[in-house]
Amino acid sequence: MSSTVESFLNESGPCFDVRSPKEYAHAHIPGAINLPLFSDDERAILGTLYKKEGQRAAIRLGVKLVGPKLEALMLDAEKHLQSSDYFKIYCWRGGMRSGFVCFFLQFLGYKTLQLQGGYKSFRRAILNGFSHPFHFFVLGGMTGSGKTEILHELAGLGEQVIDLEGIARHRGSSYGYMDAAQQPSNEQFENELGMALRKQDLTLPIWIEDESRMIGNCVIPNGLFQAMQQAPLVVVDCPIEE
């Protein structure tokens, strides 16, 4: 069964990204598990064959490559099975890769959801989401004034909070990378930020820290940054030693 982005994200169950490991590592739907139908090298070979000899030749080679992997594919998927849940499957465009995995899992008796338009449609929805009319309260102040701690306290009190630096895995120019973790790609930063915003009630205020548009190597989307610039600013006026 195919599904729109909204329905796909709302449905419970394990979510599998069946694109190649390199595609997944660059960016993916947050929470998705990589269950690659083809390796990076195999994907490159199939792409070259498709251009040179056409779709049928690429499909025939794809079948040959996938055949020996079917048992491992089944076992990997079943490790994440939850009772009565769907297996949620997507590839780049919602085409043959996700379609084949859905067909295979359905053949084994499992329920599946295929994302219509694939990861590409998810990206479109995420980017469109940054143009919503957000109701922000922006928390500003000097570095070291405890803005991040205040955001966490607000979240603990039930307020809606978006931790931009946490999503970007970065704690500002003075502190550098948080816990030495590598920052996500900008595309993955947008995905995680978009999903975090999706969980908020847009009719209520959302607290967010005052940031420049660049957070390390990550860039705040233009629509979101404009909304932040136009929002009320609450300044933390506290000496660093306190």
Which positions are annotated as active-site residues?
91
**DSSP character string of 167-224:** HHTB-HHHH-BGGGPPPPPHHHHHHHHHHHHHTS-TTS-EEEE---SEETTEE--HHH
173: pLDDT confidence band, cut at 50, 70 and 90? very low
Can you tell me which residue has the tokens 């069964």?
A: 1
pLDDT score at 239: 60
d(CA 102, CA 1): 8
pLDDT at residue 99 is higher than 90:
yes
In the predicted structure, residue 180 carries a pLDDT above the cut 50: no
Q: Phi and psi (nearest 5°) for 141?
A: 150, 170
Q: What is the pLDDT of residue 197?
A: 96
Residue 162 to residues 31, 62, 134, 180, 228, Cα–Cα distance (Å): 18, 43, 12, 21, 12
CB 66 within 8 A of CB 37: yes
Q: Please, which pLDDT band fits residue 158 given cuts at 50, 70 and 90? A: very high
Average pLDDT over the chain, rounded to an integer: 91
The pLDDT assigned to 241 comes to 55
- What does the alpha-carbon distance between residue 35 and residue 197 come to, in Å, rounded to a whole number? 27
For residue 193, which phi and psi values (nearest 5 degrees)?
Answer: -65, -45
pTM (2 decimals)?
Answer: 0.90
Bigger pLDDT: 140 vs 43 = 43
What is the C-alpha separation between 146 and 32, in angstroms, rounded? 33
- Please check the confidence at residue 84 and state whether its pLDDT lies above 80: no
Look-up: residue for tokens 């359905």?
106
Could you give the percent of the chain with pLDDT greater than 90? 77
Q: What percent of the chain shows pLDDT beyond 70?
A: 92
Using one digit for the tens of pLDDT, what is the confidence trace for 183-218?
Answer: 999 999 999 999 999 999 999 999 999 989 999 999
3-state secondary structure of 12: coil
* Contact in structure between 178 and 165 (CB atoms under 8 Å): yes
Q: What domains appear along the chain, each with residue ranges and CATH number?
A: 2-127 (3.40.250.10), 133-236 (3.40.50)
Coil, helix or strand for 31?
coil
- What is the per-residue pLDDT for 185? 96
